[in-house]
Amino acid sequence: MKTAGVLALQGDFEAHAAALKKVGLKVSFVRSADGLREVDGLVLPGGESTTMLKLLAHDGMMAPLRAFAETKPVFGTCAGVILLAREVSHPVQESLGVLDVSVERNAYGRQNESRIVALTPEEPYRQRTGADRIEAVFIRAPILRRTGPGVTVLARYQDTPVLVEQGNILAATFHPELTASTDVHALFAAKL
């Protein structure tokens, strides 16, 4: 059985763990660089990207995490997408730079402007999951302002990519772990 790690420094890591277990994966909470050696893939959860960056830097995890994300399956949601992105704005901040996207932080608005929407996924997502709908929970979500040529868009909201894939990396600007569906987590599990 494959083991999915969930970065458990800050954010909604427990909800991801529950979803990953539902799709048949063993789950390990990763709190150090050593923890990366024990997992086949890693989820970077939503939360507060600035806080996560401070904790990663304090624990010496930036370089090991970047090396992991360059070769192993990684799934970032909301703040996790910000951590993965090549470019971050509003404000500019450090990131791992492994996903060829430009992301604007908190671009959908404040906490009270959070929303739940039904997305119609693109054909590659429908073919691989059999699902023709994605329930997406947006909470102070980032917007992908640019996607590079190697990035495949799997779903859009208001004509903007919200679920993308680049090789071993899957990224959602929304929170699939807060819904009953495990389709997006199953898509990540298939990468392990």
Q: What is the CATH number of domain 3-189?
A: 3.40.50.880
Q: What is the tens place of the pLDDT at every residue in 72-99?
A: 999 999 999 999 999 999 999 999 999 9
Strand 143-147 relative to strand 99-104, pairing: antiparallel
d(CA 36, CA 23): 21
pLDDT at residue 11, as a whole number: 85
CA-nearest of 112, 58, 68, 75 to 188 is 75
d(CA 90, CA 189): 32
d(CA 157, CA 162): 6
Q: What is the tens place of the pLDDT at every residue in 96-152?
A: 999 999 999 977 766 656 789 999 999 999 999 999 999 999 998 999 999 999 999
Report whether 69 contacts 96 (CB < 8 A).
yes
pTM for this structure? 0.96
Q: How confident is the model at residue 183 (pLDDT cuts 50, 70, 90)?
A: very high
Catalytic residues: 78, 175, 177
Domain edges within the chain: 3-189
